[in-house]
Structure 1
Amino acid sequence: MVEKFPGEEGSVILVLLVATIFLALVTLGLILFFFFSRKKVIEKEREKANLKIEHQQKILQTSIAIQEEERKRIAQDLHDAISSKLNIVSLTTNVLLGDKEITKKQKETLEQILGITSTTLESSRKIAHDLLPPILEKFGLKAALEELFEEFSKNTNIDIQHDIEDFSLSESHQLHVFRIVQELINNSIRHGKADELVIFIQQKDSGYSLRYQDNGVGFDVDEVKQKAGIGLQNISSRVRILNGSLEFDSQINKGSTFLIRCKYGK
């Protein structure tokens, strides 16, 4: 049996202790290395996701701008090219109807042409109005929204309660707010099957808020947040353009609520 001296035993213990500490430090270093490496990977992935979202938002915003330009062009074409020509047809038909020498059959034909022309002219005006409401440019957002509510109430069974404060906004921002409300109402009627709406637009110290509520069938909020439809994407993009935030809540068969807060644009 080999006898160990006290000094040798202490050296072994010290070596083991140093080795243990060294291994612990190496392990801790590896853990920290993998932790920070993973953190950097996550940050990179988040940056890529944010860039992708920003890119998608820019595409949507560009798409919205193109849509508005196209709507404006079509509305102008309807007014200048189609409505003006239909007016000429209508006037010419009225002149021909005033001729006492035309036969009964000719008169009936002219009256039929006049009726078709008048109906087409009215449809053309309505389409142009929906594409670009002239009242928005002439009298502002409050008047345009009140006219919109009146049209919906007149042509559907929907009841709209509203309180729209009148305050100054740029023309482009007024148009975005108008389109947001228009889209929300269309969604409530088409998808939500709602027949009661409550809409408030109020001025705040640094901006304004839009509160929209319906009594429709509602939707799954989590599902919509994961995969929003084109309508909601357009609303979100317009809210971003308005330098605002969008919150919404809904329960199945208990309606939906949207709250938009915007800061005054430059």
Structure 2
Amino acid sequence: MSVSPVYEKEIVAIILYTSCFFMVVAVFLVAFFYFSRKKIIQKELEKRDLEIQYQKEQLHAVIFTQEEERKRIAQDLHDDISSKLNIVSLNSHLLSSPNLTEDETKEITENIINLTAKALENSRKIAHNLLPPVFEKFGLNAGVEELCEEFESSKSVKVNYENEIDFDEQDINRHLHVFRVLQELMNNSLRHGKASEIWISFKNENEINSCNYRDNGVGFDNQNAENQKGLGMKNIDSRISFLDGTIKINSEIGKGIAVIFTF
């Protein structure tokens, strides 16, 4: 049985159209996947650029903070310790002056003793600000307890502190960042928030350490991004990033501030 030429042509046409259709679909799919992949790669590159930029900003904030801290320490040493030691030196030379009466010698000696004692006390305070001895010896919990006591000693704020975590002493270098974050938050509560009460609590939920911090200060507009771009906040962000943690800040004008960060 033979197939008519017309029928053969129809079959060939169908095969050609079908082949063309599949070729067009294949080209379309290749183009689609190519441009989709290109778009995904572009987004990944943009995301990576943003992460690099964020890391640069954090590094800049840390370096700037360190430089400011060095300047402050240098200023304290120059204005306080150095000036007192200069006066001690002058008084010491006065003791070698001839014809000094007994009362004059006693007065100069007392001045030297008093100035030396003040210089020693202030040098201890500077060292304490760098790394509190209690924190270094007994860890984060003891360091935070002492920090709370120091703030309460000003009689201007009451601090409520609770801790449910048994901190590992091996993590003291990481815990120092937690301590500095709390120090920054408490300073902000007093300096800017005008708070009269502060609450701090450490908890461990699902193997994740977290710190809840809040105060009853004046608060700020949480929707205004500029309120969270200060050097202090950048410093906090950089420390939380170092700890591979997260931080969430909520505040309203007249309702204080609430902060939760993990570490």
Tell me the TM-score normalised to structure 1 length.
Answer: 0.65
- Over 3 Å counting, the alpha-carbon distance change for 1:85 and 1:72 in structure 2 is same
Hey, what's the Cα distance between the residues in 1 that align with 2:89 and 2:162? 42
Partner of 1:20: 21
Distance in 2 between residues matched to 1:248 and 1:76, nearest whole Å: 37
Residue 149 of structure 1 is matched in structure 2 by 148
The answer to whether the 8 Å contact 1:75/1:127 transfers is: no
Structure 1 counterpart of 2:250: 250
Contact 2:58/2:235 (8 A) holds in 1: no
Range that drifts further, 202-211 or 72-81: 202-211
**Matched residues in 2 for 1:12 and 1:205: separation?**
67
Using the TM superposition, give the Cα deviation of residue 207 of structure 1 relative to its aligned residue in structure 2, in angstroms: 8.1
- CA RMSD in angstroms comes to 4.7
Instruction: Tell me the residue number matched to 1:229.
Output: 230
Q: 1:161-220: per-residue Cα shift (whole Å, max 9, x none)?
A: 113578564765454333211210122234444332111245799785432122342542
Do the aligned residues in 1 keep the contact of 2:251 with 2:258 (CA within 8 Å)?
no
Q: What is the letter of the counterpart of residue 40 of structure 2?
A: K
Q: Percent identity?
A: 27
Q: How many residues align structurally?
A: 245
**Greater mean alpha carbon deviation, residues 67-76 or residues 8-17:** 67-76
**Structure 1 unpaired stretches of 5+:** 101-116
Look up the match of 1:106: none
Cα 1:141–1:5 change in 2 (3 A) is closer
What one-letter code is carried by the residue in structure 2 that aligns with 1:57? Q
Are 1:183 and 1:231, in contact at CA under 8 Å, matched by a contact in 2?
Answer: yes
d(CA) in 1 for partners of 2:207 and 2:90?
53
Compared with structure 1, are the counterparts of its residues 202 and 11 closer, same or farther at alpha carbon in structure 2 (3 Å cutoff)? closer
Shift in alpha-carbon separation, 1:157–1:54, aligned structure 2, 3 A: same
Per the alignment, do residues 208 and 6 of structure 1 end up closer, same or farther by CA in structure 2, a change over 3 Å counting? closer
The separation in 2 between residues aligned to 1:17 and 1:212, in whole angstroms, is 68
* 2:222 aligns with one of 220, 228, 244: 220
Match of 1:5, SS state, is: helix
Task: Report Cα offsets for 1:127-175 as digits up to 9, x if no partner.
Answer: 8465665665577654554443334334363221113578564765454
Cα contact 1:141–1:174 (8 A) shared by 2: yes
1:29 aligned counterpart, secondary structure: helix
Q: Which runs of 5+ in 2 are unaligned?
A: 93-99, 105-114
